[in-house]
Chain A
């Protein structure tokens, strides 16, 4: 079965430290992957997608087909980055399957 794995439930870092949120996927075809973010008291929203290859709010994510990974990275964490982050995989017919999510806490 197709699957998205986020191994960490909680990641706690200090402000200014690098951040890496891990995501591994299992998919038989050519994957299309996304990162969604849910800030406190806000709606879940798209952060970035691998096909756009852009940096959003300082975050980047590179698709590594060899390691079947799509880790989210930021060189210097900020307090406002604290949120729940979900990795997602698009399957057939626009179906989006999410991982279990990782809570990022950035401490001052």
Chain B
């Protein structure tokens, strides 16, 4: 298994543009998480899904952020419109409800 796969690895965009980040969890895992990593705030949980259903999206900063999980093997995190303060590394992780999360390599977003 290649582990959690995220794309793109790097994204540079201009303020106001739409950004879509993608994640393929490990096959068989039933939980999927989206985190944002910044130097100032560390790892912040944005949203997580259990069995494709969003359970807690209280960490989603604003209405500009949305996440979907249409099936067990795919999730997206969308930012529309993007702003410079959204610049960060976005991680996707999946798990089998054991507390051990398996992380992707992250998507580094730069909004100019």
Residues on A close to B: CB < 8 A?
6, 32, 34, 36, 43-46, 49, 86, 90, 93-101
Chain B interface (Cβ < 8 Å from any Cβ of A)? 3, 31, 33, 35, 41-45, 48, 50, 55-56, 91, 93, 95, 97, 99-105
Among candidates B43, B44, B48, B103, residue contacting A95 with C-beta atoms closer than 8 Å: B48
Q: Point out the residues of chain A lying under 8 angstroms from B99, CB to CB.
A: 32, 34, 49, 90, 94, 96
C-alpha gap A34/B103 in the complex (Å) = 15
Question: Quick check: B42 and A94 within 8 Å, CB to CB?
Answer: no
Interface of A (DSSP majority class): strand
A99 to B35, CA, bound (A): 12
Judged by DSSP, the binding face of B is: strand
Given contacts A44-B103, A46-B100, A101-B42, contact A94 B95 (CB under 8 A): yes
Closest 6 pairs (CB-CB, A-B)? A100-B42, A98-B43, A44-B103, A101-B42, A94-B97, A43-B103
For B41, B91, B95, B103, the residue with the greatest tally of chain A CB atoms inside 10 Å of its CB is B103
Q: How far is the CA of A36 from the CA of B99 in the complex (A)?
A: 11
Query: Which residue of A is nearest B38, CB measured?
Result: A100
Whether A96 contacts B33 by the Cβ 8 Å rule is: yes
When distances are taken between beta carbons in the complex, the residues of chain B under 8 Å from A100 are: 41-43
Checking B3, B35, B55, B104 against A98 with a beta-carbon cut-off of 8 angstroms, the contacting residue is B35
A43 in contact with B101 (CB, 8 Å): no
B42 touches A43 (CB 8 A): no
Q: Tell me the bound Cα distance from A54 to B77 in angstroms.
A: 36
Please, which residues of chain B bring their CB within 8 A of the CB of A45? 102-103
Q: Mind listing 17 A-B residue pairs with CB under 8 Å?
A: A6-B42, A32-B99, A43-B102, A44-B91, A44-B103, A49-B99, A93-B55, A94-B48, A94-B50, A94-B99, A95-B45, A96-B33, A97-B45, A98-B35, A98-B42, A100-B42, A101-B43
